[in-house]
Structure 1
């Protein structure tokens, strides 16, 4: 399972239909939160995500619309009896922010909140995948993130295994896990019955940014690119000034990178009534584009190859 839940998809200001930025990734039961705008804990409750399993919050930058949901989320976890540590990772000054959060109010938590400051290229190793920081270009220090699964074993050739004398049953599973098996004194190795290794899945989240070469490179052949698409193309000058991306620019980057699907988020409140201009600008360049909406879920399937 690799599922993305868009908890908040607004730009700098919430609207009646869009909460502030927050994206949850569920990878085989591991919960990772990317940005944590105000009200995120309520969105998690509505989405029934099981917030107590959350292990990391990855912040793209420290603007208020991306971080003000953290105090409430921490207190909700404390009320519910959380004991496991929580890691808050982000750009420089994240540790200072976490220190302030830990001293804010009269809170009594029975779990540790750990800060982790990251720079482009820094990676957090998880069980079967890695989250890597990407250089971005915003008005304050900022990062994007790439979630990349490990390579998967190649396809299991059942017929070849039987030819080699492997009995149908548990030995099949051992070979698929990379173990060597022995049959009547003969050794059968995984490479004897497995095809070439297959790539894992890749998700890239840009955060607030201008289009960058680093995001494009990280997004190469990604299964899903979630990119700042705050403005329509006719607002390019304002996008440049505020260090955001137009829908058409994000689509052009997705096309160059060869991604499978693009989702635009951080939608400006000026499109609260109608996101058609954004979608039209993007799909002219990259047809596989969606506009994120609050509580939208996207399952990222394994590739056939």
Structure 2
């Protein structure tokens, strides 16, 4: 399972139907949170994502609409009896930010908060995946993130294994896990009975940014790109000045990268009642695009074989 829940999709300011930035990824039951704007914990309750299985928070940058929800969330988890450490990753300033929770005794947390600062190119190892920090272009130090799953084993050829003398049972499992087995003095190797490795899935989260080369590169052939799409193209000058992106610019990047699906988020409050201009400008260039809404969920499937 790889499920994305958009907990907050607004840009800079909360509106009546959009919370500030927060995107939850549920990968096989492990929760990973990308940004945590104010009100995120309530959105988690509304979406029924759970929070106690949250292993890590990845902060893109320290503008308030991307991190103000963290203090409330970590205290709520403490009240609920959390004992496991929580990792908070982010750009320069992350370590100081996490130290604040230790400095202010009134938080009285019952678990450990660990902060780690990342630089572009740094990799966080997970179980069956990595998360790569990406250089982005915003008005303060900022990062995007790519969740890249490990390749999956190829398909197991049962008939060939039997023909090679391997009896059904535990030896099948060993071969599927990549281990050679011995049968009647003969060694059967995994590559003899396993097909070509199959790709895992890739999700890219840009955070706030101008369209940039680093996001383009990591997004090539990605299954899902979640990108700052703050403005319609008519606001191109302001997007450039404020270091955000327009829908058409992002659509062009997605097309060049060959992504399978594009989701635009961080929507400016000027589009509270109508995201039509954003969607129209993006679809002129890239068809498989949607504008995120709060509490929207997406499943990211494996690619067809």
TM-score by length of 2: 0.97
User: 1-side partners of 2:4 and 2:153: how far apart?
Assistant: 24
Deviations 1:272-300 (A, max 9, x none): 10111111111111100011111111111
Partner of 2:295: 295
Q: C-alpha distance in 2, partners of 1:8/1:103?
A: 29
**Distance in 2, Cα, partners of 1:224 & 1:172:** 34
Any gaps of 5 or more consecutive residues in structure 1?
none
* Superposition pairs of residues 8-87 of structure 1, within 5 angstroms: 8-87=8-87
What residue is the counterpart of 1:228 in the other structure?
228
Match of 1:265 in 2: 265
Partner of 1:51, secondary structure, is coil
2:142 aligns to what? 142
Matches of 1:102 and 1:230 in 2, distance apart?
A: 35
Inter-partner Cα distance in structure 1 for 2:110 and 2:245: 41
Q: Which segment is superposed worse, 41-50 or 29-38?
A: 41-50
Residue number in structure 2 paired with 1:256:
256
Match of 1:183 in 2: 183
CA contact (8 A) 2:101 2:107 kept: no
The SS at the match of 1:175 is: helix
SS of the residue corresponding to residue 304 of structure 1 reads coil
Deviation at 1:199, TM superposition (A): 1.5
The RMSD of aligned alpha carbons is 1.1
TM-score (normalised: structure 1): 0.97
Q: Which residue of 1 aligns with 2:160?
A: 160
Per-residue displacement from partner, 1:249-280 (whole Å, max 9, x unpaired)?
11100000000000000001111101111111
Question: C-alpha distance in 1, partners of 2:259/2:188?
Answer: 38
Partner residue of 2:170?
Answer: 170
Structure-2 separation of matches of 1:244 and 1:14: 17
CA distance in 2, matches of 1:85, 1:247: 38
Q: Which residue of 1 aligns with 2:96?
A: 96
Report how far residue 129 of structure 1 moved: 0.5
Aligned match of 2:123: 123
Q: Secondary structure at the match of 2:52?
A: helix
Per-residue CA shift, 1:89-122, capped at 9, x if unaligned? 1000111111223334612111111110001001
Taking the aligned partners of 2:237 and 2:104, their CA distance within structure 1 comes to 39
1:16 Cα deviation from its structure 2 partner: 1.0
